[in-house]
């Protein structure tokens, strides 16, 4: 019975850490949105100097005595917002005929699960942001055009052009399209989204449900919305602007406009009703976060991210209080390094598991999201100072990040060290797992298969009592010894009342 209790307790602990430990290498894969969290995309059944010269109409801020009309703002914004029509090729199971449904498949028929390709049309919006000669660039959402095989761009005045994808990025959910014309085309003025205040009026301009050039109004409901606050399907590299202006399917990629007629955001997601419409919860990507993406898409065809080569977790008083206290960071904001990839920039420049990152360059790190974004913004080859807490003391490390590659090239468990997470053995764990009072150490909470820890045979629920001959009283002790180890790390563990010794490859 004790063994069953032990397993139940630590399976629960491992499940808890599956929530807290974030991606092996900042893998920011988008989740499918819940039923009420949806892209504002309809599937049909960086201001440049030349920009102001092509703007259809300039407007002044609305005076206090204005009659409440947004007509001048709308007239400035409408010409720079386009309709984006796409066709995607999707695979679906071949439909069964009525004969087959009632009487079964005919002889020599192909398998029922045969996949066929279908063309699926879709509709979104975009904003004309730049012109270079006869090439015109349109900013939109990646989820509108990322899988498109055909793209058509429709202007406000009725002209239509064949579009092509310059570059798209699911981590930011941004993309840039291009079309060619020698004719005059209005270019948007890009505004300062950082200057927005809660309560400011804004317009949303786009093509909801195919109703082209629709304008709705509302206010800024909130700024700096994190993805976990706004919806599980949102890209994690973005803080969102929240508005109650009506945004619906088809608005994706359209403009959020301030009262000066400037584009301050790209409408992206909604929390909708069961029918799929607006309930006053719309989210836009701030223009301040989009301008760099525009440049990189046009120059590189993609967004280049820095790569550190770690897995991370929150170790805050709210999430893991005993671990935060054990590491001496109970009152600090930051992100915990749980694992380090061998031969990564982190391993090369001295970052070790158990380090608690509090700042990168001039940017304060409050949590794991801050760390992901700060590292992602670093250019490959940048030398940047990392402020860390290690074993209760402050240290400064200079780290040179590499370029982030494709997910499948980065996420190799065999390169992850040590490939496990440890937590202090507190009274609650001791009682649930029925661990003898004489046993002290650090508890293995999670193990990555095929990692050095997994290969050594470590399991969730093991208690590490000694490392390289030194007593282990908690997570801090383990991380201290691990950071100093070389060659092989020898661990003595307690498992179900039995003492075992295992050897694990050191970093």
CATH no. for 190-292: 2.40.10.10
Residues 390, 393: Cα–Cα separation, whole Å: 5
Cα three-residue angle 217-287-164, rounded to 5 degrees: 100
- The class of domain 19-28+305-415 in CATH terms is mainly beta
How far, in Å, CA of 490 to CA of 470, rounded? 10
pLDDT, position 279: 86
Q: Which residues of the chain have pLDDT under 70?
A: 1-67, 93-114, 227-236, 272-276, 316-320, 406-414
Please list the residues that pair with 312 across neighbouring strands. Answer: 22, 337
What is the Cα–Cα distance from 154 to 128, expressed in whole angstroms? 11
Contacts of 381 (CB under 8 A, 6+ apart): 400, 401
- Residue 162 class from Cβ within 10 Å (0-12 exposed, 13-18 middle, 19+ buried)? exposed
Token pair for residue 407? 């997910």
Catalytic residue among 252, 316, 451, 485: 252
pLDDT at 103: 58
**Residue that the structure tokens 């650090």 belong to:** 442
Q: Could you tell me the residue ranges of all domains in the chain?
A: 19-28+305-415, 190-292, 417-505
For residue 255, the cross-strand partners are 205, 266
Q: Which CATH class is domain 417-505?
A: mainly beta
SS3 label, residue 137: strand
54, 85, 125, 143: the catalytic one is: 143
Of these residues, 54, 85, 173, 311, which one is catalytic?
173
Spatial CB neighbours of 476, under 8 Å, sequence gap ≥ 6: 326, 327, 328, 354, 391, 392
466 is catalytic: no
Q: What is the DSSP letter of 61?
A: P
pTM of the model: 0.77
- Domain 19-28+305-415 identical in fold to domain 417-505: yes
Beta bridge pairs of residue 81: 127
Q: What pLDDT, on a 0 to 100 scale, did the predictor assign at position 204?
A: 98
- In eight-state DSSP terms, residue 304 is -
Alpha carbons 205 and 73: distance in angstroms, whole number: 11
Q: Is-catalytic flag, 252?
A: yes
């Amino acid at each position: 019975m004790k063994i069953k209790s032990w397993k139940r307790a630590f399976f629960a602990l491992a499940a808890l850490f599956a929530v807290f430990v974030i991606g092996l290498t900042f893998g920011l894969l988008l989740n499918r949105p819940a039923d009420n969290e949806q892209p504002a995309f309809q599937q049909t059944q960086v201001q440049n100097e030349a920009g102001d010269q092509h703007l259809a109409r300039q407007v002044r801020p609305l005076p206090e005595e204005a009659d409440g009309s947004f007509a001048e703002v709308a007239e400035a914004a409408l010409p720079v917002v386009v309709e984006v029509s796409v066709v995607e090729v999707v695979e679906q199971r071949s439909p069964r005929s009525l004969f087959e449904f009632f009487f079964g498949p005919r002889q020599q028929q192909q398998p029922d699960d045969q996949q066929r390709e279908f063309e699926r049309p879709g509709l979104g919006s975009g904003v004309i942001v730049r012109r270079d000669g006869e090439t015109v660039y349109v900013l939109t959402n990646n989820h509108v055009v990322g899988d498109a095989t055909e793209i058509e761009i429709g202007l406000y005045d009725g002209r239509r052009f064949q579009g092509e994808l310059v570059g798209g990025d699911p981590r930011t959910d941004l993309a840039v399209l291009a079309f060619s014309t020698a004719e005059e085309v209005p270019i948007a003025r890009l505004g300062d989204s950082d200057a927005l205040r809660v309560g400011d009026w804004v317009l949303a301009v786009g093509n909801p449900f195919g109703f082209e050039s629709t304008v709705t109004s509302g206010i800024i409901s909130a700024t700096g919305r994190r993805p976990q606050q706004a919806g599980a399907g949102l890209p994690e590299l973005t803080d969102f602007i929240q508005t109650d202006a009506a945004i619906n399917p088809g608005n994706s990629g359209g403009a959020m406009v301030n009262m000066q007629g400037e584009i301050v955001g790209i409408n992206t997601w909604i929390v909708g009703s069961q029918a799929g419409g607006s309930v006053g919860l719309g989210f836009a990507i701030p223009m301040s976060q989009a301008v760099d993406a525009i440049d990189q898409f046009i120059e590189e065809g993609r967004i280049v991210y820095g790569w550190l080569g770690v897995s991370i977790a929150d170790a805050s008083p709210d999430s893991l209080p005993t671990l935060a206290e054990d590491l001496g960071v109970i009152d600090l904001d930051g992100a915990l390094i749980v694992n380090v990839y061998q031969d990564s920039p982190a391993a090369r420049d001295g970052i070790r598991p158990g380090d608690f990152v509090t700042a990168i360059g001039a940017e304060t790190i409050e949590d794991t999201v801050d760390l992901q974004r700060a590292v992602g913004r670093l250019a490959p080859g940048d030398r940047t100072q990392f402020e860390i807490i290690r074993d209760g003391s402050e240290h400064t490390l200079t780290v040179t990040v590499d370029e982030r590659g494709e997910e499948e090239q980065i996420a190799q468990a065999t390169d992850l060290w040590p490939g496990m997470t440890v937590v202090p053995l507190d009274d609650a764990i001791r009682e649930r797992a029925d661990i003898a009072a004489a046993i002290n150490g650090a508890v293995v909470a999670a193990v990555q298969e095929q990692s050095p820890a997994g290969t050594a045979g470590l399991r969730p629920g093991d208690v590490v009592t000694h490392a390289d001959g030194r007593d282990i009283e908690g997570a801090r002790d383990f991380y201290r010894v691990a950071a100093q180890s070389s060659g092989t790390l020898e661990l003595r563990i307690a498992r179900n009342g039995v003492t075992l010794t295992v050897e694990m490859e050191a970093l």
